[in-house]
Chain A
Amino acid sequence: MSVILIFMAGIAVIITWWMAQQRLTSKPWLEVGRAGDVPDGSSSAPATEKIGLYVFLAVVGALFSLLISAYFMRMDTADWWSVPIPNLLWVNTAALAASSVALHWTKAETRENRGEATRVALLAALATAVLFLIGQVLAWRELAAAGYLLTNNPANSFFYMITGLHGLHIIGGLAVLSRTTWKAWNGAEPSGLRLSVELCAIYWHFMLLVWLILFALFAGWANDFIDICRQLLT
């Protein structure tokens, strides 16, 4: 359970940092009148949708931390043989990274109000993300054809389950990204798409980060990293 505890500690640090700015030591019973930091909805405040997305990402982060925790705990048993990593996963990783870069590019284009470039960039992001999903399914088929079936070994079960859940999250993101792309191609101004594009970009960067951690986990580098940490501690 150490992974989820580390994640929770990170969340706790963020919450503590945020609360430290909220005048929690004030004495509200003495303060009548307009006291201090009134949330006034001015333009400098972060958008509500963005805060909502960050909170959601914390939930998604907890979900994957728990899956990784479970992975490490189950790994300690004797019947564990790691899954060989298909080379295709490297291509998929590149596709997802390209998708993330494309969204970053889109974000820049919406800021500059360039409609044509925004549309192209969005389409590129969408296409590479779909490529990633297709690649993941092909990787599954490759593994299954090589005899690494879901029930053969807990490592296989975890691989299929975790990549599946990650894929579902990408599909969820694709629904939003498709809507944004659709709007862009049907004449929406880039300035009106700014928030949607930014939200998609944040979500995509996060899912890329999750994927990189998962990839390291499946490839076994995460174990090496933990071994190094252990050696440093002892």
Chain B
Amino acid sequence: MVEIQSGIGTAIPPAETEDMELYHPKSWWTKYVFSQDAKIIAIQYSLTAIAIGLVALVLSWLMRLQLAFPGAFTFIDAERYYQFITMHGMIMVIYLLTALFLGGFGNYLIPLMIGARDMVFPYANMLSYWVYLLAVLVLAASFFAPGGPTGAGWTLYPPQAVLSGTPGGQDWGIILMLSSLILFIIGFTMGGLNYVVTVLQARTRGMTLMRMPLTIWGIFTATVMALLAFPALFVAAVMMLFDRVLGTSFFMPALVEMGTLLPHQGGSPLLFQHLFWFFGHPEVYIVALPAFGIVSDLISTHARKNIFGYRMMVWAIVIIGGLSFIVWAHHMYVSGMNPAFGFFFATTTLIIAVPTAIKVYNWVLTLWRGDIHLTLPMLFALAFIVTFVNGGLTGLFLGNVVVDVPLSDTMFVVAHFHMVMGIAPIMVIFGAIYHWYPKITGRMLNETMGQIHFWITFLGAYAIFFPMHYLGLMGVPRRYHEMGETIFNPPSAHMLNIFITVMALVVGAAQIVFLFNLAWSLRKGKPAGGNPWRATTLEWQTPQTPPVHGNWGKELPVVYRWAYDYSVPGAAEDFIPQNQPAPDRLSRGALA
């Protein structure tokens, strides 16, 4: 170990307590409901996201039931089926994954992991949650609106999204969906400003950027991307709202519907696709980068080994973030674009595989000869690597124009993106909840229930989505309410559909075990202590568990080392917390 400035004998004075600037709740309402404490806001965000996510889970059950047993459930007609796929997709991608990773984990972990007392703009942070909640309520309201929610597919492509043939197109569905998205983006921008500026401005003494845990790097980069990408969705939503409500023709070409000429003319549906995917592709990494960061920390902590190639991990996160803004049109290969553009976007898409592969190798090399503890967070982290590699490899298929064209709009695409941005990030979310629940509540989650939850979820999710690739290769299209008689569709395809549906029901039901575990362990769980995983990062070094308002007591922690000092040769324990000074200073008693 090289020690920098080891000649200085005195410990670094911690930053002053900024008591004046810290907001103090005065009543129960401002402490737990209209709270400006990032930790409370994080829990509010997470619970709301999980609640609406459960709705999306039930919708996926209903879709699967229809696919496996067409006609058996008469209330799932074609219209309802389209409404279910639309709401399932939109909720899962935006209202669950984005909100949970950035609003949930971002809010809880950023101040704690960088040694801050709170976010820098607590009031805007609180507002962010309430606007998000409003967005969720507006979205949920569309289930009860006349005509039901929109059935335009989660991509909401015009012109069909606003036509009467699409459920919700000429009713309230599409209006509520677009309004909800606009609200979500406004709310997110308020939160996102907080996450970025807090990382930039509120790091404690000694916490250089290159000493930040990769979790923070992932969330930070993803937030920067989200701040720049969400305006594209905002613009698209506002323009479509104008088309639908005020009768403009941004996206709507001249159309004859049911024998009547619509007032629109000359609009460009392709313009919407560009705007949507300019947001849509970065969105994949907005979800993936926090997962990358979190999984790096889980693997390092539970393999008791420093992360392999920390610098490469940081650079890869930043490079992936940058590249993801110039690949959007690979979602539009079948839109009739110039082949030269297709070539360009295929190339940039395949280049992203390089930094991503670096990350995968580094996770595996971190595990190599590590002291692997197969704890629940580690199991979920390993499951993430497997599902992510699987989904990443099929991404290489779809990134190539010639392979993509025949596979476009088949179940292969559904299998690909569920693997890579559905199952993989959700594995990380579960791992992260098992990892940080002891810090949030002070109690461990039940191990047996956790094992049951893990094995059913992991194997079951694989059993759902792996066979789906074969359906796609056979040509089974996505978004079909009913297959009917098709030459290319053998009876075995239908049997596979039944299998997938059964697995989907089982995996969904296994989540009840998880939810029960969350509630049960709150009171009955084993007391966790301050640092049950013997981890190095700052959030485990708080004076109280769960951390109280202000996080750190009188003095902010001072950081002396990076976040991955596990199994350091010669050290007394197999981990050295980030706020522990270098040994020679310890011996001089400067710490005291």
Q: Which A residues touch B265, using CB under 8 A? A: 79
Q: How far is the CA of A29 from the CA of B564 in the complex (A)?
A: 8
**CB closest residue in chain B, given A59:** B227
Contact with A along B565-589 (1 / 0, CB 8 A): 1000000000000000110000000
Number of A-B contacts (CB under 8 A): 166
Asked if A33 and B227 make an inter-chain contact with CB atoms under 8 angstroms apart, the answer reads no
Asked if B275 and A78 make an inter-chain contact with CB atoms under 8 angstroms apart, the answer reads no
Interface residues in A34-64 (C-beta closer than 8 Å to B): 34-41, 45, 48, 51-52, 55-56, 58-59, 62-63
Q: How far is the CA of A158 from the CA of B242 in the complex (A)?
A: 10
Q: Which A residues touch B206, using CB under 8 A? A: 34-35, 38
Asked if B246 and A150 make an inter-chain contact with CB atoms under 8 angstroms apart, the answer reads yes
Contact segment of A65-73, A91-99, A129-137, A219-227: A65-73
Q: How far is the CA of A150 from the CA of B248 in the complex (A)?
A: 7
Contact with A along B244-265 (1 / 0, CB 8 A): 0011111000000000000101
Asked if B196 and A55 make an inter-chain contact with CB atoms under 8 angstroms apart, the answer reads yes
Q: How far is the CA of A165 from the CA of B239 in the complex (A)?
A: 11
* A231 interface hit (Cβ, 8 Å): no
Asked if A1 and B278 make an inter-chain contact with CB atoms under 8 angstroms apart, the answer reads yes
* B318 interface hit (Cβ, 8 Å): yes
Q: Which B residues touch A32, using CB under 8 A? A: 1-4, 560-561, 582
Contact segment of A16-24, A101-109, A119-127: A16-24
Q: Which A residues touch B561, using CB under 8 A? A: 28, 31-33
* A27 interface hit (Cβ, 8 Å): yes
* A173 interface hit (Cβ, 8 Å): no
Q: How far is the CA of A159 from the CA of B263 in the complex (A)?
A: 19
Give the interface centre of B8, B15, B209, B310 by most chain A CB atoms within 10 Å: B209
* Residues A33 and B560 in contact in the complex (CB < 8 Å), given A22-B209, A66-B278, A154-B248: yes
**CB closest residue in chain B, given A154:** B249
* A186 interface hit (Cβ, 8 Å): no
Contact with A along B223-253 (1 / 0, CB 8 A): 0100110011011001100100011111000
**CB closest residue in chain A, given B114:** A39
Interface residues in A170-211 (C-beta closer than 8 Å to B): none
Interface residues in B182-222 (C-beta closer than 8 Å to A): 189, 193, 196-197, 200-203, 205-211
* B314 interface hit (Cβ, 8 Å): yes
Q: Which A residues touch B275, using CB under 8 A? A: 66, 70
* A77 interface hit (Cβ, 8 Å): yes
* Residues A55 and B560 in contact in the complex (CB < 8 Å), given A33-B6, A151-B248: no
Contact segment of A4-12, A82-90, A110-118, A138-146: A4-12
Asked if B560 and A34 make an inter-chain contact with CB atoms under 8 angstroms apart, the answer reads yes
Asked if A29 and B196 make an inter-chain contact with CB atoms under 8 angstroms apart, the answer reads no
* A157 interface hit (Cβ, 8 Å): yes
**CB closest residue in chain A, given B558:** A34
Q: How far is the CA of A40 from the CA of B4 in the complex (A)?
A: 18
Q: Which of B224, B235, B325 contacts A70 (CB 8 A)?
A: B235
Q: Which B residues touch A74, using CB under 8 A? A: 250, 267-268, 271
Query: In whole Å, how far is A32's beta carbon from the nearest beta carbon of chain B?
Result: 5
Asked if B205 and A55 make an inter-chain contact with CB atoms under 8 angstroms apart, the answer reads no
Asked if B5 and A151 make an inter-chain contact with CB atoms under 8 angstroms apart, the answer reads no
Q: How far is the CA of A63 from the CA of B279 in the complex (A)?
A: 12
* A26 interface hit (Cβ, 8 Å): yes
* Residues A40 and B205 in contact in the complex (CB < 8 Å), given A22-B210, A28-B310: yes
Q: Which of A39, A58, A77, A154 contacts B228 (CB 8 A)?
A: A58
* Residues A37 and B210 in contact in the complex (CB < 8 Å), given A63-B231, A154-B248: no
Contact with A along B263-287 (1 / 0, CB 8 A): 1011110010011001000000000
Q: How far is the CA of A39 from the CA of B558 in the complex (A)?
A: 11
* A161 interface hit (Cβ, 8 Å): yes
Query: In whole Å, how far is B208's beta carbon from the nearest beta carbon of chain A?
Result: 6
* B562 interface hit (Cβ, 8 Å): yes
Asked if B238 and A154 make an inter-chain contact with CB atoms under 8 angstroms apart, the answer reads no
* A25 interface hit (Cβ, 8 Å): yes
* Residues A30 and B1 in contact in the complex (CB < 8 Å), given A38-B208, A74-B271, A157-B242: yes
* B524 interface hit (Cβ, 8 Å): no
Q: Which A residues touch B581, using CB under 8 A? A: 33
Q: Which of B3, B201, B239 contacts A51 (CB 8 A)?
A: B201
Q: Which A residues touch B565, using CB under 8 A? A: 29
Q: How far is the CA of A59 from the CA of B194 in the complex (A)?
A: 13
Q: Which A residues touch B311, using CB under 8 A? A: 24-25, 27
Q: How far is the CA of A96 from the CA of B342 in the complex (A)?
A: 44
Asked if A48 and B15 make an inter-chain contact with CB atoms under 8 angstroms apart, the answer reads no
**CB closest residue in chain B, given A15:** B224
Asked if A24 and B200 make an inter-chain contact with CB atoms under 8 angstroms apart, the answer reads no
* B85 interface hit (Cβ, 8 Å): no
Q: Which A residues touch B12, using CB under 8 A? A: 34, 38
Asked if A34 and B210 make an inter-chain contact with CB atoms under 8 angstroms apart, the answer reads no
* B121 interface hit (Cβ, 8 Å): yes
* B315 interface hit (Cβ, 8 Å): yes
* B120 interface hit (Cβ, 8 Å): yes
Q: How far is the CA of A160 from the CA of B246 in the complex (A)?
A: 12
Query: In whole Å, how far is A163's beta carbon from the nearest beta carbon of chain B?
Result: 13
Asked if B322 and A29 make an inter-chain contact with CB atoms under 8 angstroms apart, the answer reads no
Asked if B201 and A48 make an inter-chain contact with CB atoms under 8 angstroms apart, the answer reads yes
Q: How far is the CA of A8 from the CA of B282 in the complex (A)?
A: 13
Which 6 residue pairs of A and B lie closest in terms of their CB atoms, listed nearest first? A79-B266, A28-B562, A157-B248, A63-B231, A62-B231, A48-B201
For the A-B complex with A32-B1, A32-B4 known, give 7 more contacts whose Cβ atoms are closer than 8 Å: A28-B562, A31-B3, A32-B2, A32-B561, A38-B205, A55-B197, A74-B271
What is A's interface to B at a CB cutoff of 8 Å? 1, 4-5, 8, 11-12, 15, 19, 22-41, 45, 48, 51-52, 55-56, 58-59, 62-63, 66-67, 70, 73-74, 77-80, 150-151, 154, 157-158, 161, 165
Could you show 9 A-B contacts with beta carbons less than 8 Å apart? Answer: A27-B311, A29-B310, A31-B561, A32-B1, A34-B4, A63-B231, A70-B239, A70-B271, A73-B268
